[in-house]
A and B are shown apart, each in its own frame.
Chain A
Amino acid sequence: MNGQIGVYICECGPNIKDRIDIDKVIEDISSLGDVKTVKRFPLLCSNDGKKFLEEEIKKEDLSHLVVAACSPREHEKTFMDVCEQADFNPYLFQLINIREHCAWMISDKNEATAKAIKYIRAGIRRVALHRPLEKKEIESIPDVLVIGGGVSGLEASLSLAGKDRRVYLVEKTGSLGGMAKKLSQLLPNQGSNLSLIDEKVEQVHNNENILVSTSSTVGDVRGFLGNFEIVIHTDGETSGFRKAQVGAIVVATGFDVFDPEENSQYGYGIDNVFTAQEFEEQIKSGNVLLKSGKPPESVAIIHCVGRKERGYCSKVCCCYSIKFAHYLKDNLSNVNVSELYVDLCLPHKSDQEYFEEAKKKGVHFVRSEEEINVNQKGDQIEVEYHSEGKTDSIVVDMVVLAPAMIPSGDTPELAHLLNIPLDKSGFFKEIHEVLDPISTPIEGIYIAGCATGPKNIPESIVQSQAASGKILSSLIPGEKIVPEVKVSEIREEFCTGCQTCLSVCFYGAIRFDSFKGISVVNEAICRGCGSCVGSCPSGAIRSKHFTYPQLYREILEALR
């Protein structure tokens, strides 16, 4: 080809100038066929440098641009911006790192120069095969689907709905409020005011921008960020289905609790052995009573029920168990309360104080190993536990079990429907547990609340607000979405339809066209990671901007 490649070498002050013989580089590079011009400049990333580069691109009528300077992490974006300024497709540009890779690494000037020449030559070979890539813009729908009408779902709906954004709230049961409605009261650091939940339910019902579907499930989901098509199935009186388009989805399907019947050691089934949820109901009714109708004189609250079976600590049980102890001490005179715990998990700054207050009220806190045996003993219940190598037991009238939080039953089904992964505990898996704890591999689908793991109410609310933050920031009414440009594409004539690429695509960007018998990339979802390219046994997939010929030419030249 007769290219018009421009090569610009940055001296980077003394950094490159002193350690690489730039004149020699220019001499060598100038001899290459497709190179139109090779020039040096003191500091290309400076304002003068950028202006120089912009003028050069226009003046020299370049077909491709190579800049030999520093790491792409430092200034690739800078120079791509310059390209755009100069009306030059930024994908026709390649940055060669001769500072970190050559000047700073090699003390011998000749060797550093030789390596720099190789790198630049390789870059020139590569860039000659670059094609202009154009940004696309996709219309997006600002509306949001929220799955689950518990605390998380309510909060997400309220913070998202507005005059320019509708929310479809889908709840599988007949009413909103979720698990929180079953509680007797909130913890003191949560404001203790349970009527807040009812208020939120009312606000949701009164908000004309929130379309609530109770007794409903999501039947089908297709599409991508900004353009999901959903189907909502409703049972009961208003049975039927409704189709809608949304731009994003918040999954707030909450949790279930561990069934203590799974392990007979917890004695669930014995009279007067209750789960925490049953006990909450008793408190709510105002009557904490034994089967005999008498109030208990002694109660044992057992923490960590199901922790060893599930393999994680549910975070909230210590605190609500202490809440039970407070209630008992405040409402039943002379009641003896023992808390059997493995470790006290009190991670919030005000938790410890709550615990110490309970201790002051005379609650016994007993450290025990996970092996606990609950057995009937006459009218009473014997709780046998182990501590520091010794076995001990207490006899009580009533036992309350604090069971682990587990993924809600429909989690696997929903994961399949939405094409998002589960973690090893069966909860939804975050795309990055540390840095991005509510996002999924599918852009536009977020998980909030206990659907990703055990959480208390304020944490669930934070998650919902975070999901709103993400959605409000990325899905702005009236603004278009610009998907990744450097995506993969499948060449029909080579694709054998083996679908290996489907199994490796993390983002669910590939579907199988069964009519044609080939796989197809959805460019709006693809992020250009290249997994499919590497996995395709037929070499039918290529990554735009990282094509095999581009890479081969680059490598061949570098290894010459």
Chain B
Amino acid sequence: MVNGDVKREETPMNSAQDMKNRNSLKGKIVLVDGENRKTIIDLMKQLLEKKCLDAILVPSQVPDTDSYTWLLVQEGSLLDLCDPLPPVMTVQGGKALSSLTKHGEMEANIGALMRPCEIEAVVELHKLKQIDLDHIILFSIDCPGTVPLSDYMRDPQKMAENFKESIKKWGESESLRPICQICDRFSLFPFAPSSPKSSLSQGGADLPASDIHIGLLGGNDEKIFLWPVTQRGKDLLKKLDLSVHDNLEVWESKVEEVREEKLKKRTAFHDEWSTKIKGVDNFAAIFDECINCHNCMEACPVCYCQQCYFDSQLLTLTPEAYLERAQKRGSLRFPLDTLLFHIGRMSHMALSCVSCGACEDACPMSIPVAQVFTAVGDQVQDYFKYVPGREKEESPPLQIFLEDEFGDVETPGDGLETSHGEAKENV
């Protein structure tokens, strides 16, 4: 498969018709008291009050400003600052959680409420041993997307309004970030049977990494849907005396409906971008305006190195060597290795890229970093049948060796000459 001909796997269970033929998920439908936000906050408060959790990490508004940050809340009343769905993503949740758990062990149980792409980043970081999920309860929530950070900071009030509008239309808003507009993983997909991509999983449905998912779609601001994904999630709801016998059919079919729309958009996105990123020249053109600030790297949740190779001294040369290079090409651009940095980062991150868009928000030059990474990342992930953030226990593809992997690469066409000078058989 080449040139961005990427399609998210279509499985037989994906059509709305098939959905009706299966048993609906069981969960708890909670009636909204006032607004969604308040209902969710009440839920969190109860969890703290009943000592189900020792603390909760939630996105919250910074008092007296328009900005948002992460708060590790232990005192229930402070949860009033919380906004489960802030209009912008200032700091990716994966990054926040990583700094919380990276060093040392923890006895306390901590909840974390995040968008699906943040949960995915958390799972990737868990695989890379940057987050210890042992005592973390993850809450995910249906996400309509966010507005671009720069737009928001220019006019917070207006963009907050636009964001509220977009929630009603579920992502059908030009105000949202381009990467959010094509996001097909805005919710959890319990009904997707083990997709063909999950060649590494043990069979059965993919296990979403979240413990409890909060469904908003189809609730019309009147009800929210609580789906306990894991046993831990079930136990937690039980402690809140929430029985999980309600059918979540309404939510499910709405999610599927939106997802089908989004999938179409994502396919169109790949059609568009496949030519834009083709070849070194096109690729270089995209990053022409890069000023080498490395903000994209700083913002990226899965770019986790202590010190970036490109910030180290390993690539520096002597003045003599630079002059020689300049002589060869006529000129030499400074700062150096801009393109090499992006290609290098891409080679590290493409497999784990969860298309969260943090890099693009962080770029002062408005380079569509997230879109490039998604255009490439989807292709690379497809090669390995890998979905980042899918399963906690799955190893990243480059950490494992499968004998029958990439047979078509090893023996293209009529076979590659081996060191013994004989053609390998086509598999």
Contacts and interface: CB of A to CB of B under 8 A. Distances in A.
Question: Is A–B contact present in the complex under a CB 8 A cutoff?
Answer: yes
Interface in A475-524: 493-500, 503-504, 517
Contacts of B400: 503
A540 interface: yes
Interface in B205-240: none
A540 B103 CA distance: 18
Interface string A526-560: 00000000010111100000001100100010001
A548 B135 CA distance: 39
Contact of B307 (A493, A504, A560): A493
A496 B309 contact: no
24 contacts: A493-B306, A493-B307, A494-B307, A494-B312, A496-B128, A496-B130, A496-B306, A497-B102, A497-B129, A497-B130, A498-B128, A498-B304, A500-B399, A503-B399, A504-B399, A517-B102, A517-B103, A535-B399, A537-B305, A537-B348, A539-B312, A539-B314, A548-B314, A552-B314
Interface in B223-271: none
A410 B153 CA distance: 63
Contacts of B306: 493-496, 538, 540
Interface of B: 102-103, 128-130, 304-307, 309, 312, 314, 321, 324, 348, 395, 398-400
B304 A496 contact: yes
Contacts of B321: 556
B21 to A, nearest CB: 38
Name the residue among B102, B307, B321 with the largest chain A CB count within 10 angstroms.
B307
Contacts of A548: 314
A500 B102 CA distance: 16
A503 B127 CA distance: 12
Given A497-B129, A498-B130, A499-B129, A539 B309 contact: yes
A504 B398 CA distance: 10
A498 B129 contact: yes
Contacts of B395: 503
Contacts of B324: 560
Contacts of A498: 128-130, 304
Nearest to B305: A538
Nearest to B396: A500
Nearest to B314: A548
B46 to A, nearest CB: 35
Contacts of B312: 494, 539
B399 to A, nearest CB: 5
Given A517-B102, A548-B314, A496 B305 contact: yes
A496 B125 CA distance: 11
B93 to A, nearest CB: 19
A504 B396 CA distance: 13
A494 B305 CA distance: 7
Contacts of B398: 535
A538 B399 contact: no
A538 B129 contact: no
Identify the 8 closest CB pairs spanning chains A and B, nearest first: A538-B305, A498-B128, A539-B309, A498-B129, A499-B129, A496-B306, A494-B306, A503-B399
Contacts of B130: 496-498
A517 B306 CA distance: 12
Nearest to B125: A498
Nearest to A497: B129
B102 A549 contact: no
Interface string A431-442: 000000000000
Given A496-B305, A498-B304, 14 more contacts: A494-B312, A495-B306, A496-B130, A498-B128, A500-B399, A503-B395, A503-B399, A504-B399, A537-B348, A538-B307, A539-B312, A540-B306, A552-B314, A556-B321
Interface string A97-136: 0000000000000000000000000000000000000000
Nearest to A540: B306
Contacts of A540: 306
A526 to B, nearest CB: 19
Contacts of B307: 493-494, 538
Contacts of A499: 129
Nearest to A548: B314
B348 to A, nearest CB: 6
Nearest to A560: B324
Contacts of A494: 305-307, 312
